[in-house]
Amino acid sequence: MSTAQVQAPFGDETLIIETGKWAKQAGGAVTVTVGGTVVLVTACMAKSPREGIDFFPLTVEYQERTYAAGRIPGGFFKREGRPTEREVLVSRLIDRPIRPLFPEGFLNEVQIVATVLSHDGEHDPDCLAMIGSSCALMVSDVPFDGPIGAVRVGLIDGQLVANPTFSQRANSAMELVVAGWGDGVVMIEGEADQVPESKVLEGLQFALDALKAVKALQVELQKKAGKTKTKVELAAPNQALIANVRSSAFPQLEKIYTSIAEKSARESAVSELSSSLTKDLTVYQEFAPKGGKEISANQVKAIFETLQYEVIRSNVFNKKLRADGRGLNDIRTIECEVAVLPRTHGSALFTRGQTQSLGVITLGTKDDEQLVESLESRTYRTYLFHYNFPPYSVGETKPMRSPGRREIGHGALAGKALKYVLPSKDEFPYTIRVVSEILESNGSSSMASVCAGCLALMDAGVPIKAAVAGISVGLISDSKQAVLITDIMGLEDHFGDMDFKVAGTRTGVTAIQLDLKIKSLSMDLVKRAVAQAQGARMSILDKMEKTLPAPRAEMSPYAPRIVTLIIPQDKIGEIIGPGGKTIRRMIEESGVTSIDIEEDGKVIVASPDSKALDIAVGMIKGLTQEPEVGGIYEATVKRIMNFGAFVEFMPGREGLVHVSELASKFVKDVNEVVKLGDKFKVKLIEKDEMGRFNLSKKQAES
């Protein structure tokens, strides 16, 4: 295959997409280059459908190789291992916008692999991987109704900027990653520093305009080098079987979804009806194709699920009725509690309908910061948000393993929502860990995590700037109409067309995420959904603020107390001491948890014991303060000589009390007056030319 290349402006650089040179055995392969960042993306498809499934088996793997940034991986094995949190999040970022664009009934496995081969530290490879994934599919033999375009939008000094670099993003008040198909939006992932909804919408429209060139570029490359699309076998519905199952189940299904509002009772009724349909499969065999396989229980269950889809949507369209009896804009009943756990540093229980999140706060010191090694830098993270979704939350039994992609994604979204209201490190020098334990789930648990996490932070006494709440808006649509529904529950997420999550304060948005099952969403619907979410958010904030209107003035007695001191940089060595001897001694003698020293002279002392803090702070001040001639100090005898006693009168500071200054009378033998370890007051009477301190016991006592 001959190579082909296309180019277009991309921020301040040029976007170059090339195919035909690398990975030529893949179904489709492209390299996407901006500046010194290069991403290779491949797309491959299995030759036949996977048996026994009723979903599209798409997998996306995004990989960052450390050689791309000229580094060797850390750790014992010195090679890349399990996917990092960032790799998982970018894999999801790629998957979400392309998944709706494959044909209905397409069951061949498709795998997208995006590998970062080179990284210049300025241009983020995530959007390049998204563009490359769409383009690799476009030039491949895989059926795909693309292209999609992707762009990152920043808000820098009040101006919207397309595809900002890492250095530009450091000063950005908003960051939106937007994927578009046709004239609409197909995916949004964003965070903002309490930016008003109007500015967020302006940013989304700006993104749609900016990504048009990227879509046109992919079409151009496909014309130059695209393969013929493979004609694949699509799973076709058995119309005769559908009609039979419909006649048996549809009336009962309608009754269940209009008369049973409680989730568990409704699910039991639905499960019982489903089981009755598959109890005797012989009644369906007349609908099996001649010479084909017999009708299976999975086929019947798939049709039954389709009927549920129809009933739920029909009730919304025709009756404005939801399965739990709510109106289209109604929020489920909300209950908030704080301080629900006695020994944690902060806790809150947030319940919305049958979705319940337990938020728990742990406050730590500098020792608890997380080292994050990425291609662009090595940093320490002082704020962590972790989301756990145990199987009991939905009444199921499953193996409990390490967090999956869903848990990582939900935790990242909730973490973004709270990030911008946290105090600065100078204001609150703690490492903050927020954990959301999902105890019950019936939809929108990530937004419940935002609310629980916010209340728990306030319960812990973290001085956040404002309360944050989150809500999800769904969509039920067909070719004729589109209905938005507020606070979607699980089955509305499953059978609906959209999950649009918006979190923020009363002032503005802090996090936003859009996932679609249809090909795109018009900007008109985006605006309506954002407005609907804003009103719902205010209602939730009202309930949260009634529970706890502001952060507590005092922290938990079990949380560490932290005192910050500023010392001269030339004194850092004195505090640390040779081989760390002095600082270890201060920690041991005072009983504090830790003493951390930064390069700029900032000293952070942590301990849950205020008395220990006072002792350690006194020691540090003693080491860093210059002794004053005439000053009175508490001294401890360290050595006894025949001409006097050497005493420590400040931490790390020793001086001589000459025999003539030990007492007002004549002293023949020093040991008759003082002994090792004796404590007494001394007066500093001289600092000689060599920096030695001369002290007097008798003058301090007179």
Please tell me which residue, 387 or 280, carries the higher pLDDT value. 387
User: Which runs of consecutive H residues, i.e. helices, occur in 154-296?
Assistant: 166-169, 197-210, 212-225, 239-259, 263-278
Which CATH class name applies to 239-319? Answer: mainly alpha
Domains 4-225 and 334-547 share a fold: yes
* 4-225 is classed CATH 3.30.230.70: yes
Cβ neighbours of residue 185 under 8 Å, at least 6 residues apart?
A: 178, 179, 204, 208, 514, 520, 521, 523, 526
Q: Is the pLDDT of residue 34 over 70?
A: yes
Provide the pLDDT for residue 370. 92
Please tell me which residue, 131 or 234, carries the higher pLDDT value. 131
Percentage of residues of the chain with pLDDT beyond 90: 75
DSSP 8-state symbol, 100: G
* Alpha carbons 646 and 640: distance in angstroms, whole number: 6
* Alpha carbons 372 and 381: distance in angstroms, whole number: 7
Q: Which CATH number fits domain 334-547: 3.30.230.70, 3.30.930.10, 3.40.50.2300, 1.20.1080.10?
A: 3.30.230.70
User: Which runs of consecutive H residues, i.e. helices, occur in 368-522?
Assistant: 405-419, 445-459, 490-495
Q: Dihedral (C-alpha) 464, 474, 358, 380: value to the nearest 10 degrees?
A: -50
Cβ neighbours of residue 216 under 8 Å, at least 6 residues apart?
A: 8
pLDDT in tens, 275-310: 999 888 888 888 888 777 888 888 899 899 999 999
* Strand pairing category for 498-504 and 482-486: unpaired
For residue 238, what pLDDT band results from cuts at 50, 70 and 90? confident
For residue 12, what pLDDT band results from cuts at 50, 70 and 90? confident
Q: Which CATH number fits domain 632-701: 2.60.40.10, 3.40.109.10, 2.40.50.140, 3.50.50.60?
A: 2.40.50.140
Contact between 101 and 182 under an 8 Å Cβ cutoff? The reply is no
Q: Is the pLDDT of residue 570 over 90?
A: no
* Alpha carbons 488 and 536: distance in angstroms, whole number: 12
pLDDT in tens, 39-68: 999 999 999 999 878 889 999 999 999 999
Provide the pLDDT for residue 280. 87
Mean pLDDT of 553-560: 92
Stretch (H or E) spanning 573: helix 572-576
Q: What 3-state DSSP class applies to 327?
A: coil
* Alpha carbons 655 and 691: distance in angstroms, whole number: 10
* Alpha carbons 557 and 608: distance in angstroms, whole number: 7
Mean pLDDT of 450-479: 97
Q: Which CATH number fits domain 561-624: 3.90.1300.10, 3.90.1180.10, 3.40.50.2000, 3.30.1370.10?
A: 3.30.1370.10
Q: Is the pLDDT of residue 371 over 60?
A: yes
Q: How many CB atoms lie within 10 A of CB 356?
A: 20
Provide the pLDDT for residue 38. 98
Provide the pLDDT for residue 237. 82
| Phi, psi torsion values for 265, nearest 5 degrees | -65, -40
Residue identified by tokens 């670099």 is 165
Percentage of residues of the chain with pLDDT beyond 70: 100
For residue 1, what pLDDT band results from cuts at 50, 70 and 90? low
Domain ranges across the chain: 4-225, 239-319, 334-547, 561-624, 632-701
Provide the pLDDT for residue 495. 93
For residue 399, what pLDDT band results from cuts at 50, 70 and 90? very high
DSSP per-residue codes, 430-441: -EEEEEEEEEE-
Query: Token digits for 386?
Result: 């972790």
DSSP 8-state symbol, 99: G
Q: Is the pLDDT of residue 551 over 70?
A: yes
Provide the pLDDT for residue 59. 97
For residue 228, what pLDDT band results from cuts at 50, 70 and 90? very high
Please tell me which residue, 151 or 324, carries the higher pLDDT value. 151
pTM, to two decimals:
0.89
Query: Token digits for 695?
Result: 């002290």
For residue 196, what pLDDT band results from cuts at 50, 70 and 90? very high
